[in-house]
């Protein structure tokens, strides 16, 4: 790909994750949908925070995690996301800059506060997210730095951004700037409930050419095309977008474009601890390989390597150098 100041610009909800272990009975008692991202209001956030056990705070947000993974690989990454000028906003800003990601979005000086997500991890490693969007709803077109978009090989955004209304305008503006500068645009479908809310709009983004690369897991793909037939869903997405990568958990992933389909096995792990960030880190590895001109199958393998690292510990961002892991892997 042509020279650029940044390999990938990611755009997303800037969220501080508050992560605790919980059992399935707790999820039932608190009426939490297991394995999904549930949007909540401020009183619900306060209630769940009071009800949860010992927790750790970690800067997160889907696209923020992807930016962190890219930086760990040694890529040049930038990030757009809205925080408030408060304690959690300071935590998020420090964390993402400290790992080498360019982050200059102006913070809010007033309410609402920085977003936070109460994440409950069950013994099977599944994470159930309960997210108060807070300052994220204020992300809008004015937060799109055209120079950074134009200087990024790929602009990547999370499907969750379709929840805050002004963010849609921001994404469409960023996509126009990217394509005007011969750059590519990528998105992740985020989760199957997000797909249920915005299926028609997501398909329009793909079919109109607004999005060039799509990331999804198997459940999201099936939801997008409202089918239980995985092969027919694969065929459909090949017709709708230039490049797609579909993750399948322990069955690995499938990368495809209109020229071919490449199935890649999952990397072995010692123990499944927490699936938080698995899809985000897969996208970081895939996009790192893609922007370095690697073949599609290698991009998928690198994505799987990053996902395997993050699911073996609590927290949504890598705790080991992904650049080092990649060198050791021989991919």
Domains of the chain are: 6-326 (3.40.1190.20)
pLDDT per residue as tens digits for the range 93-147:
999 999 999 999 999 998 899 999 999 999 988 889 899 999 999 999 999 999 9
- Please give the distance of CA 68 from its chain centroid, rounded to a whole number: 10
Surface-to-core class of residue 106, CB atoms within 10 Å of its CB (0-12 exposed, 13-18 middle, 19+ buried) = exposed
- Please give the distance of CA 281 from its chain centroid, rounded to a whole number: 8
Give the confidence band of 191 by pLDDT, cuts at 50, 70, 90. confident
* pLDDT given at position 2: 61
pLDDT per residue as tens digits for the range 145-164:
999 999 999 999 999 999 87
| Cα gap 256→179, rounded to integer Å | 21
| Cα gap 115→134, rounded to integer Å | 5
* pLDDT given at position 316: 81
* pLDDT given at position 1: 58
- How many C-beta atoms surround the C-beta of residue 15 within 10 A? 32
- Please give the distance of CA 12 from its chain centroid, rounded to a whole number: 8
Give the confidence band of 276 by pLDDT, cuts at 50, 70, 90. confident
Mean pLDDT score, 36-45: 89
* CA separation, residue 221 to residues 140, 244, 307 (Å): 28, 10, 19
| Cα gap 52→23, rounded to integer Å | 11
* pLDDT given at position 28: 95
Mean pLDDT score, 259-288: 92
Cβ atoms of 64 and 132 within 8 Å: the answer is no
- Average pLDDT across the chain, whole number: 94
Residues recorded for the chain: 331
């Amino acid at each position: 790909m042509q020279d650029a100041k940044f390999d990938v610009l990611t755009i997303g909800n800037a969220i501080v994750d508050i992560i605790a272990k919980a059992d399935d009975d707790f999820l039932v008692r608190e009426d939490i949908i297991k394995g999904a991202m549930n949007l909540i209001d401020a009183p619900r956030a306060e209630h769940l925070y009071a009800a949860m056990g010992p927790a750790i705070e970690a800067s997160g947000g889907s696209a923020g995690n992807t930016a962190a993974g890219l930086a760990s690989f040694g890529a040049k990454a930038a990030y757009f996301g809205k925080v408030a000028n408060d304690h959690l906003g300071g935590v998020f800003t420090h964390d993402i800059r400290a790992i080498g990601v360019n982050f200059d979005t102006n913070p809010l000086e007033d309410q609402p506060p920085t977003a936070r997500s109460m994440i409950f991890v069950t013994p099977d490693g599944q994470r159930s997210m309960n997210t108060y969007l807070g300052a994220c709803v204020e992300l809008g077109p004015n937060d799109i730095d055209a120079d950074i978009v134009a200087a990024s090989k790929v602009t990547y955004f999370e499907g969750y951004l379709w929840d805050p209304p002004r963010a849609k305008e921001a994404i469409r503006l960023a996509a126009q700037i990217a394509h005007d500068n011969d750059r590519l645009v990528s998105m992740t479908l985020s989760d199957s409930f997000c797909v249920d809310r915005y299926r028609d709009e997501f398909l329009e983004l793909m079919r109109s050419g607004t999005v060039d690369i799509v990331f999804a897991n198997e459940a999201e793909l099936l939801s997008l095309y409202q089918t239980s037939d995985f092969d027919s869903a694969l065929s459909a997405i090949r017709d709708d977008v230039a490049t797609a990568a579909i993750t399948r958990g322990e069955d690995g992933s499938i990368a495809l474009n209109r020229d071919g389909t490449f199935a890649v096995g999952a990397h072995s792990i010692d123990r499944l601890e927490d699936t938080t960030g698995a899809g985000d880190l897969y996208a970081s590895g895939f996009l790192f390989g893609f922007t370095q001109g690697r073949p599609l199958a290698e991009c998928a393998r690198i994505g799987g390597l990053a996902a395997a690292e993050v699911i073996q510990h609590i927290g949504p961002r890598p705790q080991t150098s992904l650049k080092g892991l990649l060198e050791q892997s021989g991919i």
